[in-house]
Structure 1
């Protein structure tokens, strides 16, 4: 590292306490700052932006879906960058790209009008293509790269205490994400959607400076080891490195565990996104009012936070295969409640089921990959998994909609979900920790 860089950054070895706790705070803040690129952050802008662009709801939703699918094709490349350049630079540039994209989004209506004037064409295709490209950048930089780099950095700085620190991060993010629509909506109501995006871009520019100062790639780069012990050069040279066998992406994908855990996490993204996107229509098709549909999310969040808190803490002591089957059980419960929504047990099953899915997702998506495959190629591995999750979340709304418009009911989704979970339960029997 150059003298200039040393003068501008913090030296973790000189910290009066283990610098991993700074990493925990900054990494959690990094995931939180990805909200403008997450569905929960974009959805608040839907109505004012689609109206300003002259798009109807279906066109706007399809643009979001296409942008998300496009981003899923490139996110795995971001994982390779993480392994090559480290969390600091990858997160720094992802934040700058996200900030620039938000700035461009704030001028999207003017840009669309200008392009239409230059081409002398008044058509919905121009704003559709423009916002699709902007959604691609939002999803790629925000939901994809910034989230992945920040979460992976935390996991690299801890080993035996990985579950405990992920517990604190998961709880903080659960409350942070659930409250974000309130303050984003207040920002839009107070200043308008264009200025709201500009203020978010300014906040990200400020955060990029904090990334440059405080993000650190590996504890070993600073004479430390995961969990907070200083490296003794005389004895540590004789001690095996933490991480066991370091799998690359090709080796990881050759194991059954990679596919079983990735598919289970992708199922969570698919089911929760589809349910959230169509929840009012789903409940209305079974004779429930809008208020009943919206009311399921608060108790579901309580279940998710409780599950993630308890099982993050216990994950340092328990095998993750138990977690996989408990997550499968949560999926079965959710799909059963989805199928029998009109019955007295339907809504409780659905709430407990999708809450359990979300809780174990928060644990396994962070803990499984470094425990199973080591830290050296964590970016490439989690980048590939992230591409599955993003693709699943992009496909869910149109698939749910297709089943309802074709068959007049969402129930087929529930039957297919139970069939998939049955397959997963059988296929996961021989899914073992590759270490």
Structure 2
């Protein structure tokens, strides 16, 4: 048995159609499987878990920040492992360890009490340190490694149709992420937060078996070509050979930093907004239901933008998307600044919808288009560290802005200043493949 097919009953060469479409489905499910390690999945557990552990909201948020920051320092290394061993084994171990972490989280109260008893101390420091470590594992395995490896695998199996394929994946992922809080909340209501995490962990263990069966690193391992093209077919259009950049070479280009920074900004703003959405709207005398209601139009815009821009990405220059993301960030920032007015809500919805939709395109399609497929893991792993760091500091920075100045609107002065820098710096961005 080929080493690329070890421990599996599935042979890509024997499929009646191009195996990349199987990769598309299972890879998209893999991104959805990372939800327990994403902010959207963690936030639903915030109140019951912090109360059970005896932590304040600030203590819980700071533990989340510490765990997320720690994971950012290791996710780049995971990208290197992706390049060396491929998506199959990296994603497999990420799913296994994410499931184990959720099982430990489900008994965190018992573990915390036992440690307190052993140390003969009754302090918030014990549960704080414990969940900081657990947050590190679920953020590293979920938001970091499982997401990166699943998304990169899909991109490696396609080239010419990469944008179209990513549009299909993005629709499913967007719908899954937007609806996941509803399902997780119902799970908690019916079974409690401890059992809910155990149920999700079991699902991850089952999915890890599916990873071994269906995940495949690249089409060349099975004498296949990206998109399913056959060498026997005469293709009269001559395509310039793709250049693969190492991480060090990519870091020497302006595009790497500009794209990385705008993706990090997206993560910062959306994470901070999502984490405090009820409080942000309450500060302007809106109800909780009104606050939650904004996610529906944001999701609709995001799905529409993602679908259209993914398809167009096969034909247009990707730097256009960078400019649109910057403008979208400006709209969202002004929306938060003028949230007390109706125009502010519209600006916020439009800005966040555009940002979310374009994030799904740029973070998946642009990297292989600009830097090739060979070192995709190390490059996207490094960028993932930017994204993770931004998502880590956002909730605390939003919170301290509110507690210090009495309004979330002051955070916009920071975001607008950063966006002005990006507008100027991004003017000379170009595709390194065309250099």
Question: For 1:425, which of 423, 426, 430 is the aligned residue?
Answer: 423
Q: Which residue of 2 aligns with 1:22?
A: 22
Aligned equivalents of 2:401 and 2:102: distance in 1? 34
Unaligned runs of 5+ in 2: none
Q: Which residue of 2 aligns with 1:149?
A: 149
52-61 vs 18-27, which deviates more? Answer: 52-61
Aligned equivalents of 2:54 and 2:141: distance in 1? 26
Q: Which residue of 1 aligns with 2:295?
A: 297
Q: Which residue of 2 aligns with 1:198?
A: 198
Aligned equivalents of 1:206 and 1:304: distance in 2? 30
Aligned equivalents of 1:241 and 1:116: distance in 2? 64
Question: For 2:246, which of 248, 255, 258 is the aligned residue?
Answer: 248
193-202 vs 23-32, which deviates more? Answer: 193-202
SS class of match (2:123): coil
CA offsets per residue over residues 102-133 of structure 1, 9 Å max, x none? 11111111111111111111111111111111
How many residue pairs are counted as aligned between the two chains? 432
Question: For 2:376, which of 365, 373, 378 is the aligned residue?
Answer: 378
The 5-angstrom pairing of residues 207-356 of structure 1 reads: 207-231=207-231, 244-356=242-354
CA offsets per residue over residues 42-95 of structure 1, 9 Å max, x none? 122222222222222221111111111111111111100000000000001111
Contact 1:69 1:394 in 2 (8 A): yes
Shift of 1:4: 11
Aligned equivalents of 1:185 and 1:405: distance in 2? 28
Q: Which residue of 2 aligns with 1:415?
A: 413
Aligned equivalents of 2:61 and 2:4: distance in 1? 46
TM-score where L is the length of structure 1: 0.95
Shift of 1:363: 0.6
Aligned equivalents of 1:16 and 1:5: distance in 2? 18
Unaligned runs of 5+ in 1: none
SS class of match (2:244): coil
402-411 vs 62-71, which deviates more? Answer: 402-411
Shift of 1:317: 0.6
Shift of 1:209: 0.7
280-289 vs 366-375, which deviates more? Answer: 280-289
Aligned-CA RMSD value? 2.0
Aligned equivalents of 2:47 and 2:403: distance in 1? 23
Cα 1:430–1:59 change in 2 (3 A) is same
Shift of 1:373: 0.4
215-224 vs 55-64, which deviates more? Answer: 55-64
Q: Which residue of 1 aligns with 2:82?
A: 82
Aligned equivalents of 1:129 and 1:113: distance in 2? 13
Cα 1:7–1:201 change in 2 (3 A) is closer
279-288 vs 186-195, which deviates more? Answer: 279-288
Shift of 1:243: 6.3
Aligned equivalents of 1:287 and 1:243: distance in 2? 57
Contact 1:286 1:341 in 2 (8 A): yes
Q: Which residue of 1 aligns with 2:164?
A: 164
Aligned equivalents of 2:47 and 2:73: distance in 1? 28
